[in-house]
Amino acid sequence: MKISKIKDFFVSVEVIPPLRGHSIDEIYKVVDKIAPFNPAFISVTKHPAELEYYEVDGRILKLPKVRRPGTMGIVAALKMRYDIDVVPHLTCIGNSKFELEELLIDLDFIGIDNVFVVRGDKKRNVIKKDGQYEYAYQLVEQIFNMNKGKYLYQNAKKTDFCIGVAGYPEKHFESPNMTEDIKYLKRKIEAGAKFVITQMFFDEKKYIDFVERLKKENITIPIIPGIKPITSYKSAKKLPGTFFIDIPEKLLEDLREAKTEKEEFFVGIRHTIKMIEKLREYGIPGIHIFTMSKPDPVLEILKNI
């Protein structure tokens, strides 16, 4: 199933791999609860290796380690266990173009139809690889070429990936302004992207304004809103510093006035449901919910929509 060709309103979810050394059962516990709602697809995030310090035999060693490994294993396991389309994240940072080609060949072998391309965060301790792309559009071009049978150094079997990329209703924090940010998004689409999943936002007007600006640039591929339920005042205060997004004043005030954690939870859920209803009135293709490995907020939303 190609995400770009889904006609009816759909719900999809994102999961993150468990921490190194933890069990995939952590993922199953989340998806087991969500699967009965028939999500259109499940996306799985990817994390690059970072340099960390370890004491080994009295010596301090600096070693590469992925905090949340197993993305591709989880993709295969979810596909087999639930018979649901699974979408792996592919990151430029931390992967060479040669490694990415091999990874794409493996994904083609196991029948993956859709991939989601991101540049990745430029953290100071992330290991940079030779042959690593600097921009997401470069990886989109590589995949688009593989779909035409053009591999890095040979012509071979055509793949058939539907390529998704990220969009930012409040602009990427590195972009000087929204106009510049949309130029980068347009470049990814011109390179071959067929759908967009947005960064989280908490005011439907941000998404609507974003899409209207894209229409003026003749961008008509599906723009899928990324939804993150806020369920506590603490998380509402923390999110802007991590994801560079705004929290509406009314939502923050309502969370602050809640007397218990349960009240906070339902304040956030009601806000999310109301926002989704307004988005559906506008005419969104579907919603993509970031689970953050917490199924309860997602279930509450799914029950109500």
DSSP class of residue 25 equals H
Enter the pTM of the model. 0.95
The catalytically annotated residue of 14, 101, 170, 204 is 14
Identify the pLDDT of residue 49: 86
Identify the pLDDT of residue 99: 95
User: For 24-59, how does the pLDDT look when each residue is reduced to its tens digit (9 = 90+)?
Assistant: 999 999 999 999 999 999 999 999 888 888 888 888
User: CA-to-CA distance for 39 and 6, rounded, in angstroms?
Assistant: 12
Known catalytic residue: 14? yes
User: For 212-231, how does the pLDDT look when each residue is reduced to its tens digit (9 = 90+)?
Assistant: 999 999 999 999 999 999 99
Q: Domains in the chain and their CATH numbers?
A: 3-304 (3.20.20.220)
User: CA-to-CA distance for 75 and 87, rounded, in angstroms?
Assistant: 7
**Helix pair 97-109, 71-82: axis angle to 10 deg:** 10
Residue 100, beta-bridge partner list: none
